[in-house]
Amino acid sequence: MISPEERVSIESLLRRTADSARQRRNEARFELQRAVSEIPSGIPAPDGGARIHAAASSERYASRAYHVAMRRLYDFLLDGKIPEEFDTDGSGGMA
């Protein structure tokens, strides 16, 4: 069982992590949109395809990281599930 102070600390950390992940996802989305919009004719320059592919890959990775961060926050807030790195007694917060 965790103390109220620990609960506040964990929630704060999970919220900051989710906010940071959201910001990275938004930045990655912007970069992908920019890479695509720099090809007005729809025909990419020789390195344009690679830039779009890299930007799309970054956006997918950032979106997955945001999803994981939000899932951890929701699991904690809604179900009381404590992330592994804070779960000192192995109960997952469910005990």
pLDDT at 44: 60
- Three-state DSSP at 92 gives coil
Residue 88 in this model has a pLDDT that exceeds 90: no
Query: CA 12, CA 39: separation in Å to the nearest integer?
Result: 42
Q: For residue 9, name the pLDDT band (cuts at 50, 70, 90).
A: very high
- Three-state DSSP at 33 gives helix
Which runs of E-coded beta strand occur in the chain?
A: none
Average pLDDT over the chain, rounded to an integer: 89
Residue 95 in this model has a pLDDT that exceeds 50: no
